[in-house]
Structure 1
Amino acid sequence: MIKRISWIAGISITLLSCGSDKPPLDNPARGSIVIAADESFQPLVTQLTSAYSGIYPDAHFKVVYKPEQEAINMMLRDSARLAFVTRKLTPKEQGVLNQRKIKGTTEKIANDGVALIINKANVDSLVTMNELRDVFSGKITQWSQLKGGNQGGPITLVFDNNNSSNLEFVLKTFNVDDVKGLRIFTTRSNREVIEFVRKNPSALGFIGVNWISDGDEPLSVELAKDLRVMGVSPKQNPTKRDDYFQPFQEDLGMQRYPLRRPVYILSREAHPGLGGGLINYVARDAGSLIIRKLGLWPAIPYNREINLTD
């Protein structure tokens, strides 16, 4: 009997030692996870993750910047825990998680805008949605065809990637199915779009506004030099400058800028871990102050309590 008890105890110790080899699960204050993000949100994601790691030094994020669909695919394949994107999952994509019995979560964190940027030498800084629709239908091909246009030459449309969220959003907005007849040039990043527009007066660039909207960030200020951000009017026949809006905070928040879009965090996290901690920080804590600082409009404003005493 004594030998049998010793044999059972030995098995128990072996099982416990095997179990101890497994790394502990991450939690909101500690661990390391991979995040996939659309490249147009790089300044936003960089500041949010850096701020969170500043509060929790043992929290580590490896951020991979990809075109939106690739970022979503990384999350679905379990190559990333979270994805920063502009849309919710489709029923088919949600089905991938359902098959693995993962509910997943979707959190809207901000309202963003696709900014239209032009060379500083180009004085045609106002455009209507109807004119843009005609540009993407091929009816307007020259800057001089715009209302009050003074710039000569053809309009070159510049995007960051063939599969970028910026391009997909604009094509969907104007119901464009075929771009073969359009003068479109793609680069490899939002930064390269900015550099291309800075060198080409005939270019019309499309970027995520958070690349140039943080007036306190030296990189943002540097990137915005020698550029104009176009004002866009939803009206068919605007009569004054106030009929045009830019993709900055107030016009995003008041839903006046017509090329606005949401920012979501998609999560596949199945336990209360580091991903959930970051989401809570961004959506319900001081992270919304960073979103506001970047010139975007937070989905849930950060409430500051002020106590007044006599």
Structure 2
Amino acid sequence: MKSIFCILASLLIFFTACNNKVIDEPTDTLTSGKTTIAIDESYTFLFETFTRVFEDTNPEAKINTLVQNEKEAIKSLLDDSCKVIVSNRELSKNEIELFNSKNIYPKTTLFAYDAVAIISNTENKDSTLDVEDFKKILIGKITKWNELGKSSDKDILVIFDNPNSANFHYIKDSLLNGADLQKNCFGVNSNKEVIEYVSKNKNAIGVVSAGWITDDYSNISKAFLKKINVMGIGHKSSGLYYKPYQYYIADNSYPFIRRVFLINRQTRMGLGTGFVNFICNIDKGQLILTKAGLVPVYLKVRDIKANVE
């Protein structure tokens, strides 16, 4: 009798615990709740604007932002530290297989085109740079300014934000096909530090995201533009050089253009998906892109006004 009583008591405790257990199910919707995204520092200004407008439109929504390099962002997406990442490339076959092995099926959406800008000190009167000469500078075949026809015999310094950034990987992987950069190239910690360094060192040129100097929403971007020169990039053979303005990105005249993707791990109608939908909406996020200096995917080129010198 005593043993039967103990069994019944144990069952009662078990079922009571089950009934009191809180089921951890997602509560966010397309326009409410909380979610986290991960972005490269290149897109700080842009996503500050995206987030502000989205949250103003949807007061019950909260978007948290992690600023991470590409490798860190993909890891965060995999371990569910964030729902959406911004990347300049699609996931590789191996990465997709890794996600799928964990029953995660990310959706990749191309939403914009932007550019890598080359900047110089305001005392540097040469406003143009040949693509092939720039490659030679990066791999150490050209090391001094007088090798570019300048009077100075000083070393050319090339400054990146950091060796894990989207800017660095674009130059190394797309422009140099994976070749190593030489000792005249080094990294600091951010686009801001690149701009500050170049503004104080007349023998330096910097590699930054175009969004840091073309974003009409950002007063910081406008202030940076007063500190440095934006170089025109082109080819000596044609004599044509272009700056990373929206119009020249849109018509593919500017040489250093890159694609920008949203990679979303949410397969349901959650806040991450709602934020992606907002960014890709032609009346919302895509309009914001036009003022931020990037080229939207879902608007016609004719809708983009030229902003050139």
For Structure 1 versus Structure 2, the TM-score category normalised by the shorter chain is 0.7 to 0.9
- Structure 2 regions of 5+ residues with no counterpart? 1-10, 302-309
Match of 1:231 in 2: 232
Give the letter aligned to residue 142 of structure 1. K
Q: Distance in 1 between matches of 2:103 and 2:267?
A: 9
> Contact (CA 8 Å) 2:158, 2:204: kept in 1 or not?
yes
- Which SS does the other structure have where 2:54 is aligned? helix
Q: State the aligned residue count.
A: 289
> Contact (CA 8 Å) 1:124, 1:150: kept in 2 or not?
no
TM-superposed CA distance for 1:151, in Å, is: 5.2
Q: Distance in 2 between matches of 1:215 and 1:22?
A: 42
Q: Distance in 2 between matches of 1:261 and 1:69?
A: 18
Q: Distance in 2 between matches of 1:15 and 1:293?
A: 54
- Which SS does the other structure have where 1:121 is aligned? coil
- Structure 1 regions of 5+ residues with no counterpart? 1-7, 304-310
Return the match for 1:66 from 52, 59, 68: 68
Match of 2:298 in 1: 300
Residues 121-148 of structure 1: CA deviation (Å, up to 9, x unaligned) = 11121011111121122111112222x5
Q: Output the aligned Cα RMSD.
A: 2.3
TM-score, normalised via structure 2 length: 0.87
- Which SS does the other structure have where 1:92 is aligned? helix
Q: Per the alignment, do residues 207 and 31 of structure 1 end up closer, same or farther by CA in structure 2, a change over 3 Å counting?
A: same
Return the match for 1:83 from 82, 85, 90: 85
> Contact (CA 8 Å) 2:172, 2:180: kept in 1 or not?
no
Q: Distance in 2 between matches of 1:140 and 1:85?
A: 32
Return the match for 2:277 from 280, 289, 297: 280
> Contact (CA 8 Å) 1:124, 1:151: kept in 2 or not?
no
Q: Distance in 2 between matches of 1:302 and 1:245?
A: 21
**2:20 paired with 1:22:** no
Return the match for 2:259 from 257, 262, 279: 262
**2:249 paired with 1:252:** yes
TM-superposed CA distance for 1:12, in Å, is: 8.6
Residues 177-215 of structure 1: CA deviation (Å, up to 9, x unaligned) = 223x33012111111111111111111111111111023
Question: What percent identity do the matched residue pairs reach?
Answer: 31
Q: Per the alignment, do residues 12 and 176 of structure 1 end up closer, same or farther by CA in structure 2, a change over 3 Å counting?
A: closer
TM-score, normalised via structure 1 length: 0.87
TM-superposed CA distance for 1:175, in Å, is: 2.4
Q: Per the alignment, do residues 11 and 50 of structure 1 end up closer, same or farther by CA in structure 2, a change over 3 Å counting?
A: same
Q: Distance in 2 between matches of 1:122 and 1:151?
A: 11
- Which SS does the other structure have where 1:117 is aligned? strand
TM-superposed CA distance for 1:155, in Å, is: 1.1
Q: Distance in 1 between matches of 2:150 and 2:30?
A: 53
Q: Distance in 1 between matches of 2:211 and 2:74?
A: 20
- Which SS does the other structure have where 1:207 is aligned? strand
TM-superposed CA distance for 1:301, in Å, is: 1.3
- Which SS does the other structure have where 2:214 is aligned? coil
> Contact (CA 8 Å) 2:118, 2:231: kept in 1 or not?
yes
Q: Distance in 2 between matches of 1:95 and 1:23?
A: 26
> Contact (CA 8 Å) 1:156, 1:204: kept in 2 or not?
yes
Q: Per the alignment, do residues 176 and 142 of structure 1 end up closer, same or farther by CA in structure 2, a change over 3 Å counting?
A: farther
> Contact (CA 8 Å) 1:289, 1:302: kept in 2 or not?
no
Match of 1:201 in 2: 202
Q: Per the alignment, do residues 28 and 16 of structure 1 end up closer, same or farther by CA in structure 2, a change over 3 Å counting?
A: farther
> Contact (CA 8 Å) 1:193, 1:206: kept in 2 or not?
yes
TM-superposed CA distance for 1:15, in Å, is: 5.2
Taking the TM superposition and a 5 Å limit, the aligned residue runs for 1:64-143 are 64-143=66-145
Residues 57-79 of structure 1: CA deviation (Å, up to 9, x unaligned) = 11111101112221122112211
Give the letter aligned to residue 284 of structure 1. N
Match of 2:51 in 1: 49
TM-superposed CA distance for 1:238, in Å, is: 3.0
Give the letter aligned to residue 244 of structure 1. Y
Taking the TM superposition and a 5 Å limit, the aligned residue runs for 1:178-197 are 178-179=180-181, 181-197=182-198
Give the letter aligned to residue 290 of structure 1. I
